[in-house]
Amino acid sequence: MTNRVSDYLPPDNPPADGDDLAGRLRSLRTLCLGVLLFEFALLLMVSGVVVLALGNRPIVKIGRTEILTGVGAVLTLTAVVVAVLLVPYLTRSGLRTVATTPPPPPEEGVPVETPADRLWRVYAQGKFAEYGLTAAAAFITAVLFHLSADWLMLGFVCGMCVFQIVRFPTEGRVRNWLTGARVEVERAKGEPG
């Protein structure tokens, strides 16, 4: 199996462009993996503090911690729903922009932005939004777990991690996304403006 993203792009793209995109995919995967590892480390640290330092007792007692648990549940579910709804919206609007707007004129010393570069930017924008929303929700929920010592909150944070693992940018997912994106761009170019 190949490791080059250029193999998933239209044949008119030069190989150097694909190699650059393969490097970008490696960078994106590293960032996403870093977010996941940070969340797992945060889970371990907060769990350790709750067990070892606090003796499984909450720091804040608001309605016997049910309010904090409710906030954590709503926050986690909202983050997933917003990510699932926002990313397709960002993708559709980004692909429509790629299809209908020419790339900006190149600046001196900066290479011309290729269609593959523009497609990659749309993909990366959606992935950053998705991971950013869910990572923020996981972090806040971990803080709420620290305050409430309610172990159900840990399940919410683990749910965010599972969501991110399921949506991790693998080469196959990127290939499928790029294939669908090319079709969508061609369709948008064909629509009367």
Averaged pLDDT, groups of 10, the chain, 193 residues long: 47 49 89 96 92 83 75 93 94 92 81 82 94 95 88 91 95 89 86 62
Answer yes or no: is 7 within a domain. no
pLDDT at 66: 79
Answer yes or no: is 61 within a domain. yes
Distance (Å, rounded) from C-alpha 18 to C-alpha 24?
Answer: 10
**3-state secondary structure (DSSP) of residue 18:** helix
Tokens of 45: 């640290």
Answer yes or no: is 126 within a domain. yes
pLDDT at 116: 81
Q: Whole domain around residue 139: which residue ranges?
A: 13-190
Number of domains making up the chain: 1
Q: Please indicate, yes or no, whether the overall pTM of this predicted structure exceeds 0.95.
A: no
Answer yes or no: is 113 within a domain. yes
pLDDT at 192: 63
